[in-house]
Chain A
Amino acid sequence: MTESEPAALHRRRFLKGVVIAGGATIAAPAPVQAQAPEKPNGNASPPTAAAKAHERETPQEADRLTTEKTGSDFMVDVCKTLNLDYMAACPGSTFRALQESFINYGQNKRPEWLTCMHEEVAVGMAHGYAKVAGKPMAAIVHGTVGTQHAAMGLYNAYCDRVPIMVFTGNAGPIDERRPGVEWFHSVQDGASTVRDFVKWDDYPMSLQHFAESTVRGYTLACAQPPGPVFITADAKLQESPLEEREQRGLTIPRLTIAAQTTGDPNAVREAAKMLVAAEAPVIIADRYARSQQGMDDLVKLAELLQAPVVDNRSRMNMPNTHYLCQSERSAGLIAQADCILSLEPVDLYGQLNVMRDQLERTVSSKAKKGVKIISISTRDLLVHSNYQDFQRYVGADINITGDAQTTLPSLIEAIRREIPSGGNTSIEMRGRKMREAFNGFADRARAEAALAWDASPISSARMYMELWEQLKQEDWALVSDSDFSSNWPHRLWPLEKHYRFIGGSGGYGVGYQPVAALGAALAHRDAGGRVAVSITGDGEFNMAPHTLWTAAHHGIPYLTVIQNNRAYHQEVMHVQRMANRHNRGLRNVPIGTTIDNPNIDYVKIAQGYGAVGIGPISDPNDLSEAFRKGIAAVKAGQPVLVDVVMQPR
């Protein structure tokens, strides 16, 4: 742009340049345009040596103070070619230009900027969002300190194999860094803090590099096994003016999502033979289904074999209303199995063995000797060395590296070919036994739920059933795990659709629950306004209570029930175990593990953040009205917290 060129005209030319490049994103990648050589200025005399020296010694005060376009605008153009609806952030100066470009140049749409009060929230809500929306959202974190805050959220997402696009900023070269803070927030290799638990990272050195790395990052994040990707947006690149000539040379590569890996056909055929020949096959589904199709295929497979499915609930894998969902008797089934098919196992060794947590640790097998193991998984495609999330090694009889959901249709076809045309009597008999066993599950669960029905503190079973009574007429979704409440929803509620449940944290990093629930609730809101419900322990909630403010600010309705046992109860049990082991008495076990004296007023906290607060509820007879009010408020668009004083588990 020349000095006299109107800004508006310049803007049009700039946009045109971007449109040309952007057009390439839906066709073929455009070649990088060669830059025209700069014309020499015919009127200027070459500087003398003295003039050059003078310039070096006394730098001139820069008189260009504004610009209408910067590298960060182009970065926004890049992000807009991706399927990103949201960018979550706690503000930080290392990405100030990007933030300004997203909200002004990008008009704060696709992605829309979401304000979080901690980087762990920004990343964690992206974690929960992806599991519901089935695609990544983005988070951006401050250089160095923001990355450190985000680390646990990234670790959870990595362990849970969830795609997230995470960006960070970093100050530019040292001669342009302001003294002081910018140095503290600068780093030579920012991704080193999180490299052990992201799928890929890059620090682009140019805008073209940024475009390619960001598009590549998105495709890598989504390829099975998915994971978080970490891209550094250099502040110099963000803030430098983007000259028209440079813009024209920039292109944005086309985004293509790769077809997912499928298991080797020969191995799949062998697996089919093994399963059909088995007398007591068991299917274990872990981090398996990422869509309703995955669930439907698992039902087909189970029905074909009349084989029980043990759902480990890392995802919503198997409808618990189906008679072949036999998770309730997993121990007995695994003990009797002669063939186990494991789909995307998280910890196959732990599924087959138990280790006593006593002074001397001993291992015993849960499975019988000679059981055949078939594993279909992408776990071997994403293994890093340092963090030990890969669990102990198990040598399966048939180990198929491939995405289990993508592989299942071919396994089903292979099994169909193996089953004799007249059917298989033993398969049919197995089905009858499964139906009989299934019919007893509900009665047993109801009898156990009745045990502490009238207790105060309130039993987890009572809380879940009172909640269900108010929730059942809604299109609902449970956005929290249930391991710490005896899996009651899986035993008492019908979970028959994929979006009903999203599994757990992945890395057991405490603080996941409230932040993942926020992101999941956002995706459920966008999916048509499902009533999202999160049951959150009090210790976990206190890691990020300000999620309620983000929810109120951005109009994200959901119900948070505080499972308030006034303790970090898992740790209460751990410390007691040590006190027992050391014979030192149990009187001091509460030190450092309980959350009382004073009791926390969660209702005030919720109200302070702009959410609806109800409770504390200590009398189980008050639950019904509390949940009725809470769900009504959620349906009216508000985030709601109900504080329930409860039994430990």
Chain B
Amino acid sequence: MKPIILVLAGLILAAGPACAQQGSAPAGNAQNGKTLYLQVGCYECHGQAGQGARMTGPRISRTEFPFEGFLYQLRHPANQMPPYEAAALSDQDAADLYAYVRQMPAPRDPNSIPLLKAEH
């Protein structure tokens, strides 16, 4: 059963905003989360704007992944993500990080960007 959970967790995190669910997250300090995002190296794989990168990690900006799953992925990552145990990142730190990535700026509509317009 555990492998199935791991795979699901990975898939859901990768899918990001497509899997909407939250509400059970503890209160987090988004400002501290922003500091942690750089300090513990989230940006290295997911980008400084949480946009994700093809070979390193999926988009996590404004994730709609539930906090429990987010925390599970940190502690027991599916696939290639390095594990973040409590010694490296406490549950409260995780909550702060979650608060930060949840409130990252909304992406722009590509059709509002001249270089990305569909007919461009």
Query: With A446-B116, A573-B44, A576-B82 in contact, do A451 and B55 touch (Cβ < 8 Å)?
Result: no
Judge if B118 is at the interface, Cβ distance under 8 Å. Answer: yes
Bound complex: CA of A447 vs CA of B87, how far in Å? 37
Query: Which chain B residues (81-116) contact chain A, with CB distance < 8 Å?
Result: 82-85, 87-88, 107-110, 113, 115-116
Bound complex: CA of A449 vs CA of B111, how far in Å? 11
Measured CB to CB, the nearest residue on chain B to A579 is B88
Judge if B52 is at the interface, Cβ distance under 8 Å. Answer: yes
Query: Chain B residues with Cβ under 8 A from A460's Cβ?
Result: 53
Whether A580 contacts B44 by the Cβ 8 Å rule is: no
Select the stretch in A24-32, A394-402, A535-543, A584-592 that faces chain B. A584-592
Q: Which of under 10, 10 to 19, 20 to 34, or 35 or more describes the interface residues of B?
A: 20 to 34
Judge if B40 is at the interface, Cβ distance under 8 Å. Answer: yes
Whether A452 contacts B83 by the Cβ 8 Å rule is: no
Query: With A487-B54, A648-B43 in contact, do A453 and B61 touch (Cβ < 8 Å)?
Result: no
Bound complex: CA of A442 vs CA of B47, how far in Å? 21
Query: Chain B residues with Cβ under 8 A from A466's Cβ?
Result: 115
Give chain B nearest CB distance to A607 CB in angstroms.
Answer: 29
Measured CB to CB, the nearest residue on chain B to A576 is B41
**Binary CB contact string for chain A from 442 to 462 against chain B (1 if under 8 A, 0 otherwise):** 110011111111110101110
Whether B40 contacts A452 by the Cβ 8 Å rule is: no
Judge if A371 is at the interface, Cβ distance under 8 Å. Answer: no
Judge if B24 is at the interface, Cβ distance under 8 Å. Answer: no
Query: Chain A residues with Cβ under 8 A from B80's Cβ?
Result: 356-358
Cross-chain contact of B83 among A358, A446, A450, A589 (Cβ < 8 A): A358
Measured CB to CB, the nearest residue on chain B to A483 is B55
Judge if A349 is at the interface, Cβ distance under 8 Å. Answer: no
Whether A448 contacts B79 by the Cβ 8 Å rule is: no
Measured CB to CB, the nearest residue on chain B to A648 is B44
Q: Which of under 10, 10 to 19, 20 to 34, or 35 or more describes the interface residues of A?
A: 35 or more
Whether A451 contacts B61 by the Cβ 8 Å rule is: yes
Judge if A469 is at the interface, Cβ distance under 8 Å. Answer: yes
Whether A580 contacts B47 by the Cβ 8 Å rule is: no
Query: With A451-B49, A649-B47 in contact, do A484 and B110 touch (Cβ < 8 Å)?
Result: no
Whether B116 contacts A452 by the Cβ 8 Å rule is: no
Judge if B45 is at the interface, Cβ distance under 8 Å. Answer: yes
Bound complex: CA of A454 vs CA of B52, how far in Å? 15
Query: With A449-B110, A450-B108 in contact, do A569 and B48 touch (Cβ < 8 Å)?
Result: no
Query: Chain B residues with Cβ under 8 A from A581's Cβ?
Result: 82-83
6 closest A-B pairs by beta carbon, nearest first, are A486-B54, A649-B53, A452-B49, A451-B51, A580-B82, A446-B110
Residues of A within 8 A of B (CB): 354, 356-358, 442-443, 446-455, 457, 459-461, 465-466, 468-469, 483-484, 486-487, 569, 572-573, 576-577, 579-581, 583, 585-587, 589, 647-649
Knowing that A451-B50, A452-B47, A486-B55 touch, tell me 9 more A-B residue pairs with CB under 8 angstroms. A450-B108, A451-B59, A483-B55, A486-B54, A576-B41, A576-B82, A580-B85, A585-B87, A649-B47
> Can you list 11 contacts pairing A with B, beta carbon distance less than 8 Å?
A358-B80, A446-B110, A451-B61, A455-B51, A460-B53, A484-B55, A573-B41, A573-B56, A589-B41, A647-B53, A648-B43
